[in-house]
Amino acid sequence: MKRETVIVLDFGGQYNQLIARRVRECNVYCEIYSYKTDFEKIKAIQPKGIIFTGGPNSCYLPGAPTYTKEIFELGVPILGICYGSQLMMHLLGGKVEKAPVREYGKIEVTVDQKSKLFENVSEKTICWMSHNDYISELAPGFTVSAHTADCPYAAMENAEKRLYATQFHPEVLHTQEGQKMLSNFVFNVCGCAGDWKMDSFVEQSIKAIREKVGDGKVLCALSGGVDSSVAAVMLAKAVGEQLTCVFVDHGLLRKNEGDEVEAVFGPDGPYNLNFIRVNAQERFYSKLKGVEEPERKRKIIGEEFIRVFEEEAKKIGRVDFLVQGTIYPDVVESGVGGESTVIKSHHNVGGLPDYVDFKEIIEPLRDLFKDEVRKAGLELGIPEYLVFRQPFPGPGLGIRIIGEVTAEKVKMVQDADAIWREEIARAGWDKKVNQYFAALTNMKSVGVMGDERTYDYAVALRAVTTTDFMTAESAEIPWEIIGRATSRIVNEVKHVNRVVYDCTGKPPATIEFE
């Protein structure tokens, strides 16, 4: 069945994923493509609408990202945002130049409510602006539909050709009525029906998996995290006994986690899965010996995972398909889909070795954002406590230990992390923050314990609030909770004599401390 799709054409903007998520919140499926994507490919998708993202360049300078003008003749509605709006004007005969006044932040915009884009939007509305260039002349055929004190063309349109453009960013939450504008675009302008719903996604995926797998054997890489758990249960519903789940305990899991995963998915758990637990701690530690660079650690752990699976598969006999819980942000952040720079290679995508000894890889969640994965999990009847687990990266504590990973350091970070999680939960803060954990810094410093001088490690505590894990803020955890955790950690965890709290947001840091 053809799925109604809106395309985000990525010109290097930092909010590209956010645009796609906002569109999907309207129950319209949305995918991100680089501006380098062939026009024929874009046409073949038959999108219901196209959104040009922002980007850091000046569209009038040589070498700036651009696209073929033919796209405006497709008859498909286009919304240009920020750089995308400037590019649209530039390509169609308007003028873009350096703005006399740079606009940055929340700015009051006056809109013309007769525009389909601004239907039911207040006449004066706060929008997020971030631009150095501005549109000084509209392209022929366009009319202005919004302005600010400093920006004469804050929004413009050629309604007949269904081309719309906003200098501001409707996708960010600072734009108070941004979601309404995007919803107006996809429904009023593009005429979407809004058929992207999780119940039908789950049902269709199960059917498609069944058809694809036939009577083949399937091996699922189960980590116990939300993504792979949802993938495993989806596969179990699709192919039942043909599925075997392999859980690799790489020795980089949180304290007691291996046993907890086994309790849920193992022989005594509710799912009745073929479940194999592989205790491969030593194997991973020896591969990681002497390795300090985080990207190398990610690659090594990712590759070793695949090797372990291949070996298990051989023991089981013929295995045709490998299931992975890759989700859409993994794909985009690994630089596969959009244009954004590779921040880190994700476990399931960038870390995949070139040679994988399976017929095919099935990634049933590859199109989903995290909140959609959780919705799919609930549709599948997975209990809420599993579905709403805080995220834990595939490479596990391997990347929460700065520098070389050793068994001794793993034990330190496991114990410190367990204390931190316990104290956060005890104080009820587990409901108020979205992710919290301890990391082991590679920093040793002098301390004093009893009458003895110590020279030991510092643990970093982290807790963040975020809605999308693409940006995050350091949580203002009350001092007494941090204090209680600190004194327990230095008392209970050997070789730790100092605890610090990470106050950095993302950006400029990342959520993980790696």
- Inter-CA distances, 416 with 241, 320, 478, 483, 513, Å: 40, 41, 18, 13, 14
HEC assignment per residue over 210-223: HHHHCCCCEEEECC
Residues contacting 200, CB < 8 A, separation 6+: none
Two tokens at 49? 């609408």
Q: Write down the catalytic residue from 103, 171, 177, 257.
A: 171
CB of 301 to ligand XMP, least distance (A): 9
Judge whether 171 counts as a catalytic residue: yes
Write out the binding residues for ligand XMP, residues 420-459 only, by CB under 6 A. 435
398 in contact with ligand XMP (CB under 6 A): no
For residue 433, which of 422, 420, 424 has the smallest C-alpha distance?
424
Which residue matches tokens 């095919």? 360
Which residue matches tokens 């995963």? 261
Q: What angle do CA 51, 78, 16 make, to 5 degrees?
A: 5
Which residue matches tokens 């994923």? 17
Task: Return the range that interacts with ligand XMP (CB under 6 A); candidates 55-63, 157-165, 377-385, 504-512.
Answer: 504-512
Is residue 207 within 8 Å of residue 235, measured between CB atoms? no
Given 394, 415, 421, 499, the residue binding ligand XMP (CB under 6 A): 394
467 in contact with ligand XMP (CB under 6 A): no
Question: Each residue of 148-179: b (16+ CB within 10 Å) or e?
Answer: beebbbbbbbbbeebbbbbbbbbbbebbebbb
Quick check: helix, strand or coil at residue 177? coil
CB of 472 to ligand XMP, least distance (A): 7
CB of 232 to ligand XMP, least distance (A): 15
Residue type, 211: E
3-state helix, strand, coil in the chain (%, to 5): 35, 25, 40
Q: Write down the catalytic residue from 30, 31, 59, 169.
A: 169
Which residue matches tokens 């906003």? 166
395 in contact with ligand XMP (CB under 6 A): yes
117 in contact with ligand XMP (CB under 6 A): no
Q: How far apart are CA 350 and CA 236, in angstroms?
A: 26
25 in contact with ligand XMP (CB under 6 A): no
- Inter-CA distances, 152 with 109, 110, 111, 142, 254, Å: 10, 10, 11, 13, 55
Task: Return the range that interacts with ligand XMP (CB under 6 A); candidates 43-51, 104-112, 142-150, 393-401.
Answer: 393-401
Contacts with ligand XMP, 210-249, as mask; x by CB under 6 A:
----------------------------------------
CB of 308 to ligand XMP, least distance (A): 17
Given 294, 393, 396, 398, the residue binding ligand XMP (CB under 6 A): 393
254 in contact with ligand XMP (CB under 6 A): no
Given 3, 116, 307, 506, the residue binding ligand XMP (CB under 6 A): 506
Prior bond of 508 cis (ω within 30°): yes
Q: What is the chain's alpha carbon radius of gyration, rounded to the nearest angstrom?
A: 25
Q: How far apart are CA 404 and CA 153, in angstroms?
A: 54
Quick check: helix, strand or coil at residue 423? helix
Judge whether 245 counts as a catalytic residue: no
Judge whether 97 counts as a catalytic residue: no
Total binding residues toward ligand XMP, as defined by CB under 6 A: 13
Which residue matches tokens 């975020």? 466
Is residue 12 within 8 Å of residue 34, measured between CB atoms? no
346 in contact with ligand XMP (CB under 6 A): yes
Is residue 140 within 8 Å of residue 174, measured between CB atoms? no
> Closer CB to ligand XMP, residue 184 or residue 334?
334
CB of 95 to ligand XMP, least distance (A): 39
65 in contact with ligand XMP (CB under 6 A): no
The angle that helices 226-239 and 198-213 make with each other, rounded to 10 degrees, is 60
Given 67, 275, 436, 469, the residue binding ligand XMP (CB under 6 A): 469
299 in contact with ligand XMP (CB under 6 A): no
HEC assignment per residue over 424-459: HHHCCHHHCCCEEEEEEEEEEEEEEECCEEEEEEEE
Q: How far apart are CA 251 and CA 298, in angstroms?
A: 14
Task: Return the range that interacts with ligand XMP (CB under 6 A); candidates 30-38, 132-140, 305-313, 391-399.
Answer: 391-399
> Closer CB to ligand XMP, residue 88 or residue 472?
472
21 in contact with ligand XMP (CB under 6 A): no
Q: How far apart are CA 354 and CA 377, in angstroms?
A: 30
Given 131, 347, 375, 498, the residue binding ligand XMP (CB under 6 A): 347
Task: Return the range that interacts with ligand XMP (CB under 6 A); candidates 168-176, 273-281, 492-500, 505-513.
Answer: 505-513
Q: What angle do CA 399, 405, 409 make, to 5 degrees?
A: 100
47 in contact with ligand XMP (CB under 6 A): no
Given 152, 353, 391, 505, the residue binding ligand XMP (CB under 6 A): 391
Task: Return the range that interacts with ligand XMP (CB under 6 A); candidates 44-52, 201-209, 355-363, 392-400.
Answer: 392-400
510 in contact with ligand XMP (CB under 6 A): yes
Q: Write down the catalytic residue from 59, 82, 151, 245.
A: 82
CB of 510 to ligand XMP, least distance (A): 3
297 in contact with ligand XMP (CB under 6 A): no
CB of 18 to ligand XMP, least distance (A): 14
Q: By CB under 6 A, name the binding residues for ligand XMP.
A: 344, 346-347, 391, 393-395, 435, 469, 506, 510-512
**Active site residues per annotation:** 82, 169, 171
